[in-house]
Structure 1
């Protein structure tokens, strides 16, 4: 009677042994196999982990780099800053605006706005100014949870000597540097091989691999070979407190009529040329929204944004010659240049060179492209 129970037990035991052996075999088999993935979503993740394109990093960062000008009775001090939040707040150095009686900014698209001081350091060389007209715009991502290390590649942006959006490349060549300059204490700052000169002060230092801002460019040596940048991690708590406590109705802004200057032909032409340069760079980078925003109301009334975008959507490359510029009798700027565009509509490529003439002037207190005429050059 009891002997009849043994065959089922033996069978169950054998099945268990076979199952264990099968599991081990399958595990070892899959462990040594190379899995081929064809899912495009997974391939997209792999692509995104690669180093970011340098040109794209620079173009996106330049849109938020601000040229800052502080005026008093005697001088005009030029520096840099960068937009960092949705309130229109700009981070810069204290020494850029410390003695200014009136502060205004020039944006990447050549617009001029008055600014007011939100907060300024007495011992550390940081400051925040606010431009309400920039509120709600996209701003630069700031690193908030890690410090850079020696050897990290960096990009320094600023406006040295009034040249907006100048870019220098380098590495973190030292950390935890401490010194005092002009009454400001610099502690735990980055030493960088990217040079910092007059006008770079307050501009962003960007991590080449992440595209995030990691420092505020502040001081350079006399020979221009070494620069120093304040880590954003060390000062963001103070900056955010200033920003939180500031209210627009309590801030002292300059009058826009006091800062728009068409009486100085040299500055007027420089601003107009920068506007056209930014317009063409935006098209080249397929940023049609930024380019379209630079057009005056007459052009926008004639061409809708979809029409404008359609005109350039097939452009894959764009080159332009040196500008020829002059001030007209009615106080507009005429800029002429030859532009070569390479287009591809999916079937064939085409190169075309045309002479463009742009008319630039003020509309609602801002420089705009008022007219554009083209003449195709003979091949």
Structure 2
């Protein structure tokens, strides 16, 4: 029996923040010691340090990320979308591209392309952007019929707080939810437990077992970890129609003009720096060194190749953030991280503690972490 949940509380519509963010272990002696292997959104505990994300899931993530794009508007606001057909058409939220005809699209490998809005709804928070540069590229698989069930495992892709190619895991925690966020109505949407933050809007919700897109991540309830995703099957007829016959005139959204964030990243610099550092270590624990390397500042990438970066983690089993302190200083945030690393040496597992400090600041409108200093802690220092 369907159950409607009408929410009149203040809801945060999420405008996708994007960009390559950068973090790096600062000391060569530390980076040579550290490497890790599992966990998607949280560092591994001792109990589950041997559990790995299945290769199939990793493959799904890898293939999907290449087809999720960042959408930039002239006013500085940013959203995301995903390729859904071979004509170069990208699905996103209407609130992401509201009041815009032309947008800039940035792919996962940082290529910039121009896109034209060819369809946008006044009632449903859905829009389509045509990107000629993506024409002929194989799109994400879409589930055209049927929906998700309670507790189905899902992946939410997007760029929360400016961190492009972020992936979080969760479940379908509710069905047939009904919301009103002026001017849009969200009918029979999914409630999801996968964490989403400002920046996920327009990104795909993917079945973690099949790799199919089942929804469009669109809104979040206040500061709680309750997100909402529009079922893709419910809007496919509309977006297919726009692809076949683009709209000749796009609707205006005067009510959104003053409400849209004017910054590509939301949250204070300290909050962004904290999120960024945790994401870096999550990527290392995931074994996703490509993403971790992409988070380095340009000077670090010039000084060190990807192969050199990855080789520094050959002997590391896991890295756990024990404590993190972020202090804003002038034009950067100084981040100090206390770490516990499980490492192998001569076939034995050793547990070591480290303290790493580095500046986190903006580079080309994206927050990055720059080279600092680090050291291994002695037993006496650990107790202080």
Tell me the TM-score normalized by structure 1: 0.57
Question: Could you tell me which residue of structure 2 aligns to residue 355 of structure 1?
Answer: 355
Written as runs of structure 1 = structure 2, the 5 A alignment for 1:1-379 is: 81-84=80-83, 91-98=91-98, 118=117, 119-128=119-128, 141-151=140-150, 153-155=152-154, 157=156, 169-171=170-172, 174=175, 182=182, 184=184, 189-192=188-191, 194=193, 202-218=202-218, 229-236=229-236, 239=239, 267-329=268-330, 331-344=331-344, 347-379=347-379
Determine which structure has more spread, i.e. the larger CA radius of gyration.
1
Retained in 2: the 8 A contact 1:190–1:228? yes
Higher relative contact order (CA 8 A, sep 6+): 2
How far 1:180 moved relative to its partner?
7.9
Following TM superposition, by how much is the alpha carbon of 1:147 offset from its aligned partner in structure 2, in angstroms? 2.0
Cα 1:225/1:352, change in 2 over 3 Å: closer
Unaligned runs of 5+ in 2: 1-52, 247-261, 380-384
Shift of 1:320: 0.9
Output the CA distance in 2 between the equivalents of 1:335 and 1:223. 24
Cα pair 1:191 1:229 within 8 Å, conserved: yes
Over 3 Å counting, the alpha-carbon distance change for 1:198 and 1:77 in structure 2 is farther
**CA-to-aligned-CA distance 1:339-369 (integer Å, 9 cap, x gap):** 1211236722122211111222333443332
Which protein is richer in helix relative to its size?
1
- Residues 70 and 100, structure 1, Cα contact 8 Å, conserved in 2: yes
How big is the shift at 1:196?
A: 9.8
Distance, in Å, in 2 between the alignment partners of 1:378 and 1:140 is: 52
Match of 1:308, SS state, is helix
Go from structure 1 to structure 2 and tell me whether the alpha carbon gap of 1:294 and 1:195 turns closer, same or farther (over 3 Å shift). closer
Asked if structure 2 preserves the Cα contact closer than 8 Å seen for 1:197 and 1:220, the reply is yes
- Displacement of 1:308: 1.2
- Cα deviations across residues 255-282 of structure 1 (Å, max 9, x unaligned)? xxx9579xx9x72233333332222221
CA distance in 1, matches of 2:130, 2:336: 36
SS in structure 1 of the partner of residue 339 of structure 2: strand
Gaps of 5+ in 1: 1-50, 247-257
Give 3-state SS (helix, strand or coil) of 1:341's partner. strand
Work out whether residues 151 and 172 of structure 2, in 8 Å CA contact, stay in contact via their aligned partners in 1: yes
CA RMSD of aligned residues (A): 5.4
Q: CA deviation at 1:319?
A: 0.5
Q: C-alpha deviations, 1:317-346, integer Å up to 9, x for none? A: 1101332222334x2322111112112367
TM-score by length of 2: 0.56
* Contact in 2 for aligned 1:81/1:90 (Cα 8 Å): no
Using the alignment, how far apart are the partners of 2:276 and 2:131 within structure 1?
20
Relative distance call for 1:185 and 1:328 in structure 2 (3 A) is closer
Residues 197 and 102 (structure 1), Cα distance of their counterparts in 2 relative to 1, 3 Å cut: farther
2 CA distance for matches of 1:157 and 1:282?
15
Single out whichever of 355-364 and 155-164 deviates more from structure 2.
155-164
Aligned positions, number: 304
* Whole-angstrom CA distance in 2 between matches of 1:93 and 1:209: 25
